[in-house]
Structure 1
Amino acid sequence: MINPAQQATLALLSCETLETLGQAFCECIQQWAPEAYLLNGVIPVSGQELTCYINGRDSAALKLRFDDFSHPFSQVMRTGKASIWSTLNYGVRIEHQAFRQLVQSMGKECGLFVQPLFDAEQHLYGLFAIFDSTAMLNALQQTEHPFIYLLQVYQAQIKHLKKEADMMAKNHVRNRDNDVLALSRNDATAVLPRVLVGNSSYICQLRKKIQVAITHDIPVAIEGESGSGKSEIAQLIHTYSQTPGSLVTVDCNSLDLQQQGGHLFGHTNVAESALMQANKGTLLLENIDKLASCWYGKLQHALDCGEIMPCQNLEQGSSRFRLLVTSCQPLSTIASSIPTFLPVYQRINHYPLKLQPLRYWREDLVVLSQHLLRKLCLQHQKPSFVISDELQLQLHSYHFPGNVSELKRLLELLLLESSRAGNSEGHVENNAALMELLALNFSIGSVTEPDYTQSGSLKEVVSVFEKAVINHRLLRQCFNKERVAMSLAISRRSLDMKCKKLGLAR
């Protein structure tokens, strides 16, 4: 005879969507804790807040921002570790008004257990919370209690269903993308005007050069400022060049010296190397100007002979691949200043593509903006809208140091702000909030140099400058604290504490 724990496990394994999984899990828990108050917290696509559902149902009980530290869930979201509070009623400081009202509405003394939930890539998906008496929470935490096993099944199912949902979402976006809809893989002539939009002489000439790169199996070096679209151009070349293998990407800027060698050539097992994985395909080396000079010889040998020598030279492998590289620095300058790079430069620079900054082809700015907006509306499933003449003038007056990537980020922010403001007409010309947002972004310049003559202690002066630097990075990265922390080479927790100390919490 099947016991309740086995029935609960079968119920979870039979769920086909994340929504029904959350509801089924809550129903299973209620058979052991009938008076418990259960919350399922889910992080939406925007990733800016945590939406909590009562007992896994459709009604949202709470919406909690990631940068809000006034509620107990913030500790779990920051640390990624389960936490338990024996009581929320005596001496526990809850500054979040909605969270405090939720606890008070339960009408009884209760504790709290919170379990973070992760997807298959170990990204935070959400959390599960139980509000109940201390005795019940302690009973559920006993190793022999079925709750512990069922929680593991629930987490495994989340990873499985989230992975399937992500794959379906990607396929849905891909099918709806007008850039590739009903276009054959080798019809690059028809694809390029739809993907690389614009009528300027620069864009027209760039499309012709990309067409040449697609039709000839030669190494291509793509140079340009950060955000100019180097990686996108490389992916476009691979996609329509009829290469049978896959595209393997290695970003030299994100790896240290040993990691570069391990990723490219393999530490001991050559089969794990990126060069071997790119066999019969394409290897994209992003930011090759950041590749350590000690790996030039191995890369040159692989390009000449197709032989891959792992870092410890235990065994060799062979691979034939097409090489695409990107660089923010002129490769010719690097070759002239670093003699050991010259042989590599001669092998990768068969067909150079130099991308101009966006400020040099402003005549295509409106067309490009509308193109990006259409894609963003499809991606976020938002109604389309057009940019007003006034906003177009502001766009033309901005120098875009982040190039196309910054334009896309700004347009995405405009789209999300427009939706949040309840703009149902699909236009933004009369939206004062968006105008203020644009003015804020356009006012972001370099960090203001501190006044070294001002009075105060060294700690106070440094604190003022530190606040200016962090505020500048937050604005540049659209308050994406993960990117800001990475750019400052500090942990996310340290950044959160500094923001709170300096009064920069959004």
Structure 2
Amino acid sequence: MWKKHNEQFSHQDNSVQYLGLSACSCFEETVRKQLEFQDALTRDQYTDVIIEIKNQIGGEFSRASSGEADIRVENTRCPFGAQVKETPELCQMTSSVFGGIAARNFGYAQVELRKRIAVGDSVCDVAIYLNREDHQPRRGDEYFFQDGELISKLNDTDAIVQVTDKTDRYWCGCGDTETASVQKPQTLVIGDSKAIRDVTDAIEIVAPTMANMLLGGETGVGKELIARAIHATSGRNPEKFIAVNCAAIAESLIESALFGHEKGAFTGAYNVHKGFFERACSGTLFLDEIDGLSLTSQAKLLRVLQEGEFERVGGRQLIKTDIRIIVASNRKLKDLVSAGEFRKDLFYRLNIVTINIPPLRERRDDIVALVDHFLKKLSVKYQKPPKSLGEQAWLKMMHYDWPGNIRELENVLENAFLFAKTEVIENISIEVSDSEVDQTHHSLIQSTKEKVSRNVEIKLLHDALARCSGNVSAVAREMGITPRAIHQKLKKHRIDADEYRTK
């Protein structure tokens, strides 16, 4: 039986409390058998029990850092699903289950719902206090176990809910989390070469799938950018994208960094560190330089990929993971497998879909678009007027082999942008011999067979017309050729100088 001392308190809220108190003993008994807990629960065992209960009905609960006076757990997915926002009273079910189990084992509990997904918070943060003498004026319901009865005193009211310990027990259902519909964003990849179009076509095919992916390519080709593009065009794009450079983490720390750790102290405090797998919940985890992992770490990663669950270092709770894994390496993993430096089983687990990103020297016709993109970014970053490359700078850019690829290109442009005294950048910090420049000049100016040459010439003409306000004679003087030659080029590329005059 349950009784109500406050007629203004809603029957629905009271009923939820009653349901939770009625069901908690059944919940506890079932999970105790699973975890093989026979005696009175310790604080740690109690925490394991309430987490296991909630996760079995659809939650994503885990331990959070706590002090001597409290036990804290966090949840990233409500077991009641999206509809909990329409009926936030259901949160009282969590409070009564946690409080009822604690009261039965420790005699007293106060449960404080600090954060709730039901009211718009990104997580649920629940604190349970077990010391009655330490009672504080917190916004939490209190729970007592007296004479075979569970009693709940509801916060800010004089309403009391109580059930006998012989009340029929039953499990409660759970709702499914609704998948939010998301609008497909534009791709982040810049360029229109055949090589980069093949990459973007592959992204469009595999991004909506659940397949793990392996990105290959030299240092600086933009593997993280491609990984971000895959995440952005997938159904996971509202969630987190976390990038990790595996080679930058010490071997002794890699397991803790990836999977997190838990540590209890003599004072009774409990410290929890969430690893990258947990922090990327429902999103995408990008593991760059995966070849930097030791064979031992590779084995632990393989287990997570196979089982879809892991344990924090020092923890006992299995945590399920629902993330997409994208890995990258600037070395060929197949060769490392042959050399015994990379696990064959992990390679085949990761090699479901492979995208090889071509180096910049193999996609020179993308340099124009990349230069234009980075110069616009630099203008915004440093709040300075836009700048463009002069002819000699373009010749160097197009001939250079770019061993550092796009990363090197961006760094070179930033240096040139900062030190250029005019809006035309003539000097860039890359070494190209005069004979190489002359050869490139011939291919760029006189030959129109290649797309690269055509794009650079068009870009030069547009930039010069903009600077000279459409004055063809001024453009000719700047470029060192006759006005007649400029008119021919404008006609060939269908560029109207009048458009720049009106501007």
TM (normalized to structure 1)? 0.45
Greater percentage in helix: 1
Work out which of the two has the higher radius of gyration on C-alpha atoms and give 1 or 2: 2
